[in-house]
Structures are given as C-alpha cells and as structure tokens.
Amino acid sequence: MGDFKTGMSGVAVLDAHLVVMYEKMFLIEKENLAAGLDSLVTLKLNNLAKTETFPKYSGLAVATTPLTDKEDPNATAMVDAPVTLTSLEYGITVCRTKLANLQSGGVPDIAIPRVVAKNMRETLETLMIQVGEAGSNELTVNATNEATTAAGDVLTATWVKKARNKLARAGAPKPWSCVIHPDVLHDLLVETNSYGWTLVNAYGASDVRVFTSTIPEFAGFTFYESPLVTINTDVGAGNVDTYHTQFFGQNAFGKFVVEEPHMVISGPFDSLQRFLNIGWTGIFVYGLVDTDYHWIVTSSSSVGSNA
C-alpha cells in the first residue's frame, strides 16, 4: 500500500518522556486490576486461538473397600465435562486534539491515560461480574424467586452462611470469595444481632485479614465490594431493585486470553498532526468453569433506589 499522501515526512508520535509518563499512569490502574477481581480467576490460559477448552473433571468415588491381597484392582475411569470459551475483542479509544490540549495547559495529556486505564479495569471487572451474575445456582432471600423479592428481603448473615454451606457441601476449594454491591454490603454491616458482621468482627478481629480492594473476612469469605455489580432495576415485587451477590471458591471462574489488554497510542495521522488517539485493546473472555463452586444470593437492599 502506498503512502497516505505524497510528500509525507515521518515524525515521532510523542516525545519519549511523554510515552513513559503515559505508561506509568496506565500501569497504576493495571496493578489495581491485578489486586482486584481478576486476581480471583484461578484458571487462566493464554493461547493464540479463537477458542480454548478448560477441562472439568468429576471427583472419584472414595476408596472405602479394602484391596484384596495378590489381586490387581480395576482402574477407575476419569470423567470430564470440558468447558469451551470463545475469545472476544474489546477496547476503547479517546482522540484528543492539539488545540484542546494546549489551551488547557496539557491537562488532557495527564488525564487521558488515567481515564483510559480506569475504563480498562472497570470493563474487565464488569465482564467478569456479568458472567457470574448469569450463573444458574441461586438462593433468593425470603422469596420464591427474584420477581417476588420484596423491599425487606435484604442480605443477612444467615444467608451468607447458607451460601457457605452450599460451597462446603460441594467441596469447593478455598479460599472463598464474595463479590458484593455497596448497597447490599450496607445491610450486612448494620446487622446487630449476636451472629452478625459487627459483633463477629469486633470480638474475633485477631484473625481478620484485609486485602487491597477488599474488606475483612466473614463466614469464611473474603468480600470484594464493587459498585459495578448490576442493579436489576424494578425486577422485584412492587418495582423493588434486586442484586446478585456472588459467592464462589477456586476454579469457579476461568479466563482465556489471546492478547492481554494493553494501552495503545496511535497517530497523528492527519495532515497537521492535530489529533492523537490513546486507548486500550485486548482479546480475552471470562467464563464460569466449575459451576458447582459458584452460588448467587439474590436480595433487595434497604438503601436501594426503590426500597
């Protein structure tokens, strides 16, 4: 393919120090992603392919029958139910103009990479949350189903422990995690009975762990608070908003990566070098691999918009 137009002269897109500044600001948000929800994905595959298959093996029956002397036992066949994920391409770009950048004292050059990196982190976390919210294992607080969830059907310690029971019965590998909306977490934090969050953490704080982007453990779960959890507007009874709080163990989520999400700087391609594109792109997909290790608890919230 020929030049964009005749008589073109090659130019550097950005000064080296500006590129380094962009990368540093972008990496800060990427580190936040590594310490957030993405860190809960224990099954990750990187490959140059359209699809990838995650093996999911069923457990073997316990060997309670004694072996017979001088006899070779029969082999037991392993059973697998593979889960296939198909990669998708995501990304976003911001085009800043030379005039806007200069007239604002270069502020866009500082703000854009931060905003773009924040968008990348929030996009990845939203995609992972939405995959989990589509899970099939569900408990509904005090209601027959989500459509009958009333304003008072808020999450309590009892329902957290019911989710714990589900994972324990399934033999879900630890550590266990919970992704929860701030509205739902509020109801759990203000519960004042003897088995609620407040007293348990007040008198048992010696073994409470606190992680980046998390709040203390409760009932065996490390809680990850995120406003990116979907608010299901007017889905419950009387137009009550509902929320899906996710409880899961290791190997519940899988991630297939063809190209890691990364920052892209392109341009200027116009005649007067006035437009510069800064964005991110990546080819990847999240999926639920072992659904036995993943449960949703559906509730309303006392601070929801229709409570």
Whether 201 and 276 share a structural domain: no
pLDDT at 186: 93
pLDDT at 30: 64
Whether 183 and 295 share a structural domain: yes
Q: Which residues of 202-211 are buried (b: 16+ CB within 10 A; e: fewer)?
A: eeeeeeeeee
Please list the pLDDT of the chain residue by residue as tens digits (307 residues): 554 555 443 344 456 656 666 677 677 666 666 667 888 887 787 877 788 887 776 666 777 778 788 777 777 766 667 888 899 999 988 887 776 666 666 656 777 888 888 899 899 999 999 999 999 999 999 989 999 999 999 999 999 999 999 999 999 999 999 999 999 999 998 887 656 665 555 444 444 443 345 566 788 999 999 999 999 999 999 899 999 999 999 999 999 999 988 888 887 777 787 888 888 999 999 999 999 999 999 999 999 876 5
Q: Number of structural domains, the chain?
A: 2
Q: 225 in a domain, yes or no? A: yes
CA 208 from centroid of its chain's CA atoms: 23
Whether 144 and 233 share a structural domain: yes
Whether 156 and 180 share a structural domain: yes
Q: 33 in a domain, yes or no? A: yes
Task: Quickly list DSSP for the chain.
Answer: ---SSTT-----SS-HHHHHHHHHHHHHHHHHHHTTGGGG--EEEE-SSSEEEE--BPPPPP--SPPPTT-PPPP----B--EEEE-EEEEEEEEEEHHHHHHTTTHHHHHHHHHHHHHHHHHHHHHHHHHHHT-S-EEETTSSSGGG--TT-B--HHHHHHHHHHHHHHTPPSPEEEEE-HHHHHHHHT--STTSHHHHHHH-GGG----TT-EEEETTEEEEE-TTS-EETT-STTS--EEEEEEE-TTSEEEEEEEEEEEEEE---STT--EEEEEEEEEEEEEES-GGGEEEEEEB-TTSTT-
Whether 127 and 141 share a structural domain: no
Whether 102 and 216 share a structural domain: no
pLDDT at 35: 62
pLDDT at 7: 47
Q: 235 in a domain, yes or no? A: yes
Whether 230 and 159 share a structural domain: yes
Whether 173 and 295 share a structural domain: yes
pLDDT at 198: 59
Using the structure block, give the residue that is written with the tokens 């299901």: 232
pLDDT at 149: 96
Q: Yes or no: say if 151 and 307 are a contact pair by the CB < 8 Å rule.
A: yes
Whether 148 and 237 share a structural domain: yes
pLDDT at 214: 54
CATH number of the domain within which 122 lies = 3.30.2400.10
Q: 73 in a domain, yes or no? A: no
Whether 167 and 209 share a structural domain: yes
Q: 22 in a domain, yes or no? A: yes
pLDDT at 10: 39
Domain of residue 101, residue span: 16-58+79-131+254-286
Whether 142 and 237 share a structural domain: yes
